[in-house]
Every structure is written in C-alpha cells, then in structure tokens.
C-alpha cells in the first residue's frame, strides 16, 4: 500500500481557551487552485488546477493527481511540468466510451493503479502506459460518475473499492479479481434525502482504509460521518454528523490516519462557516485542529495531504 512519507516541517503553536494544538502544512485543491498552505496560513506553492478526486505526494516529491475527468498526471512541483500521464479516455481501449477516473495510486512496484468508472475496472499500468493487469469491478448501479470513489491497496494484496452508487465497500483480490469481502454502509434508521450538503443523506460513501487492527475505516460520503467496521461487519466506532462540538459534517470524503493515531477528515460541501478539514483524536473524539478557508478554496475541496507529519500516514 502506498504510504505517504511526508517531509518534516516547522509547526506553529496556537493557543485556544480549550487546548494547545499544532497547525499543519497541507496540500489541497479548490477554486481552480492546487496549493500548499503553510502552517502559518501562507500559501507557499500554487498552480492553476481544476477539480480532482484523488491526490498523492510520491516518494520522489512529485504530485500524482488528475487533470480533467480522465487524465492521471504526475507533476514535478519545482518545474510544474507533467512528467508522466495516462488518459483513460483515449488509452486502454476506452475510445468512444464515457469514462471518469476518481482514484489512482502509485504501487510499490512502480506501476500505477487507476480505477475507471464507466469501464467498471481497475487497471495497473507501467511507465510506458501499458496495461499489465485488469480487474473487472462488480457494480449494481452502473454510472460513469459514481461507479467508484477512492480505491486503496492493502498490505494483504487486495484493493478496497468504494462503490458510491451502490453504497458498498468491496474488497477485490489483486491476483484473482475475486471479491473477498463486501460491506454495505448502513443508513442507521434514517431515510435517504437528496443533496450534496449537510441537508442530504445516504450511504454514498467516498473512502475506505484498512487499519492495522484489520478493521476498515470508512468515510461515508453523504452519510456525514466516519465508521470503523470489523471483518464481521460490526460497527465498533463512529462519528456522525453532529457529534463534534460546533462542527456539522457534510459530505465526508478523505480520511488520513496520522502517525500519532489522529484522523484528519475531509468535510466537503459543508458551506461557509464550517471547516474543510477536521483533525480528531479518535479515542476522545476531541477536535484538535480545523482548517477553514472557505473564502479561498470554496465548497468542493475533496482531497488533501498533510505535508508536515513525521512518519507514515495512512490515507
């Protein structure tokens, strides 16, 4: 599994009446800007860039992200040049199909995993853009926009795939392509309601991570929360929409598990006055950091990477 080795950076300490906490240096995209915001709040790097659904900082310091709905690109942050790309709309036999790409990952062997919604498959491609592996995906409600959201490899040799339109996490064996585990996100007794913001509700999940203890951590999308589920599908921990003081979760996207065990939660479409990112101590459910730059980055920040953590994050 790709783990982000982040650079060590200075942190600014900020006093609030309730706690002492460290601000973070963070990379994100919003309002047609791909930026790095320093711990002091200043923007230290920026490119004009459209909407994305996935974002990685590679071991070589380059940025792996998406350009347009289908093109996965590797950017050199110093030169701002694209050093590698793969366009799922024009490569791999997809010509003429409606395709969207919402997830990708640089694998340990140097190949790149790309999840192709519309084609309903995961492909692994080499540096030359040759497909070296293809895994068909099971999709109950096919749609090029919602077949998948984030996909992540696991140390067990599987892929965890979030199928937004199905409301399910499916785990696929990377060698055989077989589904080895499946979990439908519960509605917890509520009726679904349309909408991307805090007024909507459903189980259109966005992310899933395999924790070291074998459980799965799920960002429930318009379920407005995060849940931890055992292999036997028991919910053993959760944060729901209004569990955090003075914060209302909306479309919960990414989760980054920090080396100290804290969770950084993406809070997309939450509206003005609500944080874009929330760091939570999962043991106490205490909020230890928030990032609220709505005026700068808008209401559709779907992905972020913390740049100043010491050690490996899981994301």
How does pLDDT run across 29-85, given as a tens digit for each residue? 999 999 999 999 999 999 999 999 999 999 999 999 999 999 999 999 999 999 999
Please give the pLDDT value at position 17.
30
Low-confidence ranges of the chain (pLDDT < 70): 1-22
SS3 of the chain = CCCEECCCCCCCEEECCCCEEECCCEEEEECCEEEEECCCCCEEEEEECCCCCCCEECCCCCEEEEECCCEEEEECCCCCCEEEEEECCCCCCCCCCCCEEEEEEECCCCCEEEEEECCCEEEEECCCCCEEEEEECCCCCCCCCCCCCCEEECCCCEEEEEECCCCEEEEEECCCCCEEEEEECCCCCCCCECCCCCCCECCCCCEEEECCCCCEEEECECCCCEEEECCCCCEEEEECCCCCCCCCCCEEEEEEECCCCCEEEEEECCCCCCCCEEEEECCCCEEEEEECCHHHHCCCCCCEEECCCCCEEEC
Please give the pLDDT value at position 167.
98
Please give the pLDDT value at position 14.
34
Please give the pLDDT value at position 311.
81
The structure's pTM equals: 0.92
Please give the pLDDT value at position 7.
36
Please give the pLDDT value at position 151.
98
């Amino acid at each position: 599994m790709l783990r982000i080795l982040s650079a060590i950076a200075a942190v600014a300490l900020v006093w609030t009446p309730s706690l002492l906490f460290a601000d973070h240096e963070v990379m994100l995209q919003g309002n047609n800007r791909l930026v790095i915001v320093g711990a002091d709040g200043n923007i230290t790097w920026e490119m004009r860039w459209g909407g994305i659904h996935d974002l990685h900082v590679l071991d070589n310091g380059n940025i792996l992200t998406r350009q347009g709905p289908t093109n996965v690109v590797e950017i050199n942050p110093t030169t701002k040049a694209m050093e590698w790309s793969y366009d799922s709309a024009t490569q791999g036999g997809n010509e003429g199909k409606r395709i969207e790409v919402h997830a990708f990952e640089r694998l340990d062997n140097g190949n790149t995993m790309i999840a192709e919604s519309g084609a309903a498959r995961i492909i692994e491609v080499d540096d030359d853009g040759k497909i070296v592996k293809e895994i068909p995906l099971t999709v109950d409600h096919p749609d090029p926009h919602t077949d998948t959201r984030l996909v992540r490899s696991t140390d067990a040799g599987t892929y965890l795939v979030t199928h937004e339109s199905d409301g399910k996490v499916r785990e696929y064996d990377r060698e055989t392509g077989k589904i080895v585990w499946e979990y439908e996100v519960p509605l917890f007794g509520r009726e679904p309601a349309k909408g991307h913001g805090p007024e909507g509700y459903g189980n259109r999940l966005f992310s899933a991570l395999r924790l070291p203890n074998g459980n799965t951590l799920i960002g429930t999308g318009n379920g407005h929360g995060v849940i931890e589920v055992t292999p036997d599908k028991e919910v053993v921990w959760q944060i729901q929409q209004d569990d955090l003081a003075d914060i209302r979760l909306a479309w919960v996207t990414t989760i980054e598990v920090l080396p100290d065990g804290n969770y950084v939660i993406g809070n997309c479409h939450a509206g003005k006055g609500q944080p874009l990112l929330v760091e939570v101590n999962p043991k106490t459910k205490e909020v230890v950091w928030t990032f609220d730059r709505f005026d700068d980055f808008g209401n559709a920040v779907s992905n972020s990477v913390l740049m100043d953590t010491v050690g490996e994050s899981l994301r």
